[in-house]
Structure 1
């Protein structure tokens, strides 16, 4: 039938009037202006031109040039550029060039890391299958998925992808894997009849959705929506509509830059006023004030921040976590609440049989996942298929009525994997664990007929012939199998099934279901002559009669119980999160019973500690109730829609807490985008989820996320140490400049240090050691403290006081050394006309005094335990950087050409003794301060308003178990860090 082609928007109007799932097949075909024979090619081309290609518009990606230019928006980079402009204006082109090179170095670090992350992400992307099967002009043909249009009739086969949203018009044993869209961990069985009333996406079982895959069977469906009109498109639009927000670190660096800029401007104005009050010419006063203020900008700070973040991103990449934006690393460290998906994140997304009952004997199964590694155990003894003929029938009932495939690892699959229904795949793994070869079983037991699964019978039967026997092997829902059985086989043989047996069986299944296990029952029947005749009858019309004749008078063999197993490291990772005062919640589209059982196994809490909130309860809750549950942790939000996840995340953010969200499906994308940091799964995640996230877990492991949180905390601690270390020398330089200016105005004493020497401290002397701090390992009990408050600042009142104190101490020591130098060499600096070579030597004393005190300060600030601690020896890179700083200092002092450029003069042994003595005095003052006021440096952050975890008793042992593959020493618990390759 050729369609009239009046409009390509008929499907849209139909959806607005009556949803397609509420219409019968004829009404849907009519609404879409098509037929069961599909569109004509001409009509399909016309609709394609009118509706556009079938594809989700990717989030806008900036060009590499714009990406690089975006690095210059960093406030600290702007400060460096201003400093360079000031230097050029002052007639110091060499200084300006150095600052510009430093800007290029800093921007290159950030751009290189983010560019690599973007390229890695592109390599992971693989949205819809490139081709699909459609019916056009009455024939089946293969077309590019992007050319599918509304009204097309698509053909769906097992293992394939659904290219668009379709209303099913024909199906045979058809089910789809919808977890990426709905969060359901088991395949959704589909049917054809219309659905009355309004139901959520997960309950529209006569539809198949774009982005899902076919688990079992075959089907045909008419396309009702493509591209942005699909469910996947609608959710993608939700995630893409969220504006980009700055991370806590970006906000903190911005605050720091604004604070420093304001302080430097105030200092410049003060210096200008003081200089003019001393009768200095306005131009000279302006140049001096601007020059000194420009030199006070912490030029090494952006390099320290970017180096720390880049190093952390590199470490995370080795640990299977890809960071798309450098600042996201630190955001993890401030995380107070984690809202995690269940399937594929906490669990393996691999159904695994863990318990069974065979011939009346209960047993367990070792090993998880699809890899056939493990054993069937009864009372600790392994069971094999040759135990008895009856046991072999039990295995045959799993292997023969089974349309799944179990496959070895290959170039595209690093592990064993299943095609088809994951539940059936789990049965094949169990068969392989018993040492049976399924392919051999299929060849030995000759195929007669197969009665496929359907949603009414909930049974699947394979009829095979072997040794002259025609046998029906059946598996299915326990209640359906039980209804088909009249006998039971136990250890004593076959006997009639009694009412007590039925009651005991039903009670057993109910108990298993209460533990969120997915259960199947197995049965067998040797067919009599009459039934064999019916089996060989042909034609679909005879199917129901054959089913009724075969699936009765069966013998119950037993049951198998399976679950999507929790990843091995998840319980210890949960314990580590609790110990770090991070509250974890589960947000899932799965059923409440299943989600709660997984939460218990994952270590989120004991059943009595968990709070499970269903979709109906959630809809009735106020914002205050939701945020209270989210902030208390150990809450399972079940059957939540994408909009519900967004609501939870937004409420947590509004409470002032940093929230991380994990997910892999399209339904997780909006929450990933709304979160402070979205974490997507790299292996099982959809492209929409990966595009919406800032971090991608390449191993899909929650444990990797918790390790990343630990690293994020370490990064912020290192950045804090670097910032305060950097500003200490600037505070000292300010004190020296102010005192020197006063002495120059009042008594004519030469200025104690010049701008080039200040830059030599900030750029050449301290830059490498401060940048190397970014590679420091975690110290102390960082993962047992509460998350930092994102509203707190590095430059708080306590830090400013400490910087002022350090500046005064170093300034006093330095000015003392400067004036003592003149005394030792018999020169009166107050007399005027001091020779230039003597001034150069004196300013060199100032330069090396500040630099050596600064190097001592950097070492002392590295550890909360001060200068003398084992922690100081762990980072060889830091000590190489210290050596480089000292070597550069010696080159500046003693290499003539370089010394002339910086206006420095050589020092003798006595000069060095005074300089080193000053550094020792400063160290003694700092160590005394640490001992007398320990709370200033080591008090853990105890934040509010978030309520503490319910598991306050979680001890370090849990974290130590979680940290398998980490270096840990009871004598030095701060030395805990992933070893290379772990």
Structure 2
């Protein structure tokens, strides 16, 4: 494969290597690739190279098959213990117990697998699988061929509307402009030519190269394919994506650590129980059964399922808010995010150039609306919408922008799409808002001849025929400096002509540019009797009349500013990371509130060159302080994310371009744009926004915090029961006493309450003020000290209450099954009362309202029906060794449950923070 430049380390320039094609003369590239600059490759040679180099496609993403995805659902320490416990209980003949344990594991695996599959299916529905074709010259004949069949050395031709099929070194270009925003983040199309460049020229500035995946917006060009497939710049980014580490989410990391500690503690406790029983001379088999019962009782079987289902509910809520979650923990990770690194083009902005201001010698008019939809108006200085009729110079300015234009706008599926240069698209839309739609302009002033735009010429001019008089007129647009040099007069609002005031025009252009706007000038040559011959450059000098300036930008999304403000309130820092120029990035950052216009701290804005110059020791701190990082390469984006993670930040990275993909993969959560994003970005991301709206991320942060809260509530609710059950068994073994509850009854408690009671917390509404608190400290444990104390307190009350009740019932003459049935119902009733307390970890259940979560009310009623069935149905009495109990036993059970609820309420009140 022909050589290419290799990627350097993040924050460093890429070193040049042999065969840097942008640094070679075109004929040297032709010789190096053994091709022909006119006839291209021969058909047989192209076939041999295709066999040698392979198809011009990126390698498929590595991923496990169905079996691996199924096995992955069982990869959890608690699941391992449950599988072992199920096998042991089956070996001991306790088939009901074993079946329940394996049933829990299987349900958890199925829920995880189904949700994962649903997310992948939803993502597939976003993709537009369009097969690309390319125009290739082979054996002297031009043909259209699938882009996958391109090989190094092919002679390729491109024109407006084409997707560049490979990395191409230009050998000829005619007014060629390319939108490279997906690769470099550059929001404005780049002019291309054949000039030889310095070997160290960065990718974003290689004027003589076309890169795979970019879009030709204007002109045409011919070049030699120098890299295909994985060897293109797109392929280099693909490799960076593969090399980026998939970072464990805060939730999975905390649960993994929590599960490991819990597993070790449970196994140690079970082993201790077995050893104590043997030391007391008890039979080995019953003692071993008690140890297994302790392990099964202490394990929160519902935890893996609760995590999966709670996250799945969060996923469903996000889907309703136009976000597709590809990996379940992603929704929670956003809730723990401390920094959002946002791409600019297409993420904070519309990625649709929009004219904001039209200046004429007598007035400055604002244009409302944004994007390519022709919805809005041109407003005069007084705010009226009749500006175009009142100002002849304004009308001619808009007319020149629409008539001297090669772009085409079309409506598709309710969206406006542009074919051509975004700058020209913006001018078409501005004219339409002023009552001059493109088709009407073309009908009234049909085009006769064109002087195309070029980077040397810096303007475009078109010759038109006036449909009503037959006279010829000229329309022109271009850079302010170049077009001003061609004008001697300027047009007044009443249509009269007067001498040009170059100083006033230059001052107006500077004021507009200072706002981060791109400024183009427009001019016309008044209608005159038709002359024979074509339009020539020599005909323009001194004959044009300046009509005005059009100032445009890629506008911020409507909700971006509010979303950034909400993130700040929530303690989440937002940074812009873009490949665009610093001035453009800073203007957008100010408009959405990322930068304070009065802040003169130069460290707030850093460029890729600034990052390269930073000493290694200062790099992470500088990145952490900065708010805008502009003109950065894909490698540097990846390094920026890693630097933020090194200083302890939980990083969310948003983006839509190919250049964002490595950083999306490396981030704690990658967020891609589903509508305007590239497939590479979507594949690298954890979450895809179907509406491409940055504001959806703020909603995801809120949703993620709610998910984490509800998972914490479930853990605080379930652990006392599991600990209480385990300790009851341990106490019985220590005392050499009869077990107050049996292993089968423990499984009934754990399974039914986890489903009917605990999982109802997943539907708990988000608490008030959830977005007014700072993000969770990544180092903060899953359970704080206060919550751990509460878990121990409730566990102790359960153990004491169950032993007291069991002993009381036996002392009052109740049978052993009756005493055990009372103890089982005590555990469940206390759990039901405690559930209402766990709806908030700090606020009183009375303040929340007992019936504000109907799911919990329904769950408690369902569990009550189940307990009555367990107590009074003969079939369940036989299976679970229960029996009917007296009304007095029920009163004692309720009394202990109420006492527990009061103790927990007092603990909350004592530990409530001031204010």
Report the TM-score, using the length of structure 1 for normalisation: 0.88
CA contact (8 A) 2:378 2:388 kept: no
CA distance in 1, matches of 2:198, 2:907: 75
CA contact (8 A) 1:130 1:144 kept: yes
SS in structure 2 of the partner of residue 255 of structure 1:
helix
Please state if 1:232 is matched with 2:234.
yes
CA contact (8 A) 2:790 2:907 kept: no
- Deviation string 1:344-373 (CA, Å, 9 cap, x unpaired) is 110111111111113521111111111111
Give 1:440-455 correspondences, 5 Å limit.
440-455=440-455
CA distance in 2, matches of 1:567, 1:622: 36
SS in structure 2 of the partner of residue 784 of structure 1:
coil
Please state if 1:918 is matched with 2:900.
no
The residue aligned with 1:284 is 286
- Deviation string 1:14-49 (CA, Å, 9 cap, x unpaired) is x94342222232222222211222112111111101
**617, 626, 630: which is aligned to 2:619?**
626
Compare 16-25 and 450-459 and name the one that shifted more.
Answer: 16-25
CA distance in 2, matches of 1:258, 1:90: 27
SS in structure 2 of the partner of residue 154 of structure 1:
strand
Structure 2 CA distance for partners of 1:552 and 1:108, relative to 1, 3 Å: farther
The residue aligned with 1:835 is none
CA contact (8 A) 1:38 1:135 kept: yes
Structure 2 CA distance for partners of 1:738 and 1:66, relative to 1, 3 Å: closer
The residue aligned with 1:821 is 809
Please state if 1:773 is matched with 2:761.
yes
The residue aligned with 1:437 is 437
SS in structure 2 of the partner of residue 915 of structure 1:
helix
Give 1:54-203 correspondences, 5 Å limit.
54-126=56-128, 129-203=131-205
Structure 2 CA distance for partners of 1:11 and 1:196, relative to 1, 3 Å: closer
**546, 563, 572: which is aligned to 1:573?**
563
The residue aligned with 1:966 is none
The residue aligned with 1:661 is 653
The residue aligned with 1:612 is 605
- Deviation string 1:310-331 (CA, Å, 9 cap, x unpaired) is 1111111221111111112222
Structure 2: give runs of 5+ residues left out of the alignment.
Answer: 7-15
CA contact (8 A) 2:22 2:199 kept: no
Structure 2 CA distance for partners of 1:149 and 1:429, relative to 1, 3 Å: same
Please state if 1:909 is matched with 2:887.
yes
The residue aligned with 1:843 is 820
Compare 274-283 and 213-222 and name the one that shifted more.
Answer: 274-283
Compare 799-808 and 470-479 and name the one that shifted more.
Answer: 799-808
**694, 698, 710: which is aligned to 2:690?**
698
The residue aligned with 1:674 is 666
CA distance in 2, matches of 1:183, 1:464: 36
The residue aligned with 1:559 is 549
Give 1:521-536 correspondences, 5 Å limit.
521-526=521-526, 532-535=531-534
CA distance in 1, matches of 2:391, 2:613: 56
CA contact (8 A) 1:256 1:795 kept: no
Structure 2 CA distance for partners of 1:227 and 1:772, relative to 1, 3 Å: same
Report the TM-score, using the length of structure 2 for normalisation: 0.95
SS in structure 2 of the partner of residue 289 of structure 1:
helix
Structure 2 CA distance for partners of 1:389 and 1:709, relative to 1, 3 Å: closer
Count how many residue pairs are aligned between Structure 1 and Structure 2.
Answer: 898
Structure 1: give runs of 5+ residues left out of the alignment.
Answer: 1-7, 537-545, 828-837, 940-982
The residue aligned with 2:717 is 725
| Aligned-CA RMSD value | 2.1
CA contact (8 A) 1:862 1:872 kept: no
CA distance in 2, matches of 1:433, 1:872: 55
CA distance in 2, matches of 1:656, 1:407: 47
- Deviation string 1:414-435 (CA, Å, 9 cap, x unpaired) is 4112111111111111111122
**42, 46, 49: which is aligned to 1:40?**
42
CA contact (8 A) 1:661 1:678 kept: yes
CA distance in 2, matches of 1:507, 1:415: 37
**382, 387, 391: which is aligned to 2:385?**
382
CA contact (8 A) 1:175 1:187 kept: yes
**355, 359, 362: which is aligned to 1:360?**
362
The residue aligned with 2:779 is 791
Structure 2 CA distance for partners of 1:644 and 1:391, relative to 1, 3 Å: closer
**557, 574, 592: which is aligned to 1:584?**
574
Shift of 1:839: 0.9
CA contact (8 A) 1:515 1:593 kept: no
**745, 751, 769: which is aligned to 1:763?**
751
CA distance in 2, matches of 1:154, 1:901: 77
CA contact (8 A) 2:4 2:18 kept: no
The residue aligned with 1:831 is none
The residue aligned with 2:906 is 928
The residue aligned with 1:320 is 322
Shift of 1:738: 3.2
Shift of 1:903: 0.7
CA distance in 2, matches of 1:515, 1:871: 52
CA contact (8 A) 2:394 2:548 kept: no
**253, 269, 272: which is aligned to 1:270?**
272
Compare 591-600 and 650-659 and name the one that shifted more.
Answer: 650-659
CA distance in 2, matches of 1:168, 1:909: 91
The residue aligned with 1:739 is 731
CA contact (8 A) 1:183 1:343 kept: yes
- Deviation string 1:616-666 (CA, Å, 9 cap, x unpaired) is 221112344332244346x10110111111111111112222111111111
CA distance in 1, matches of 2:587, 2:864: 60
CA contact (8 A) 1:75 1:253 kept: no
- Deviation string 1:843-899 (CA, Å, 9 cap, x unpaired) is 011001111111111220111212212355333223222222222222111111012
The residue aligned with 2:406 is 403
Shift of 1:126: 4.5
- Deviation string 1:184-240 (CA, Å, 9 cap, x unpaired) is 011111112222452111110111110001111111111111011110101111111
CA distance in 1, matches of 2:29, 2:726: 78
The residue aligned with 2:257 is 255
CA distance in 1, matches of 2:489, 2:40: 49
Structure 2 CA distance for partners of 1:813 and 1:107, relative to 1, 3 Å: same
SS in structure 2 of the partner of residue 218 of structure 1:
strand
CA distance in 2, matches of 1:792, 1:128: 47
CA contact (8 A) 1:11 1:32 kept: no
CA contact (8 A) 1:145 1:163 kept: yes
SS in structure 1 of the partner of residue 338 of structure 2:
strand
The residue aligned with 1:549 is 539
CA distance in 2, matches of 1:383, 1:210: 46
The residue aligned with 2:10 is none
CA contact (8 A) 2:392 2:495 kept: no
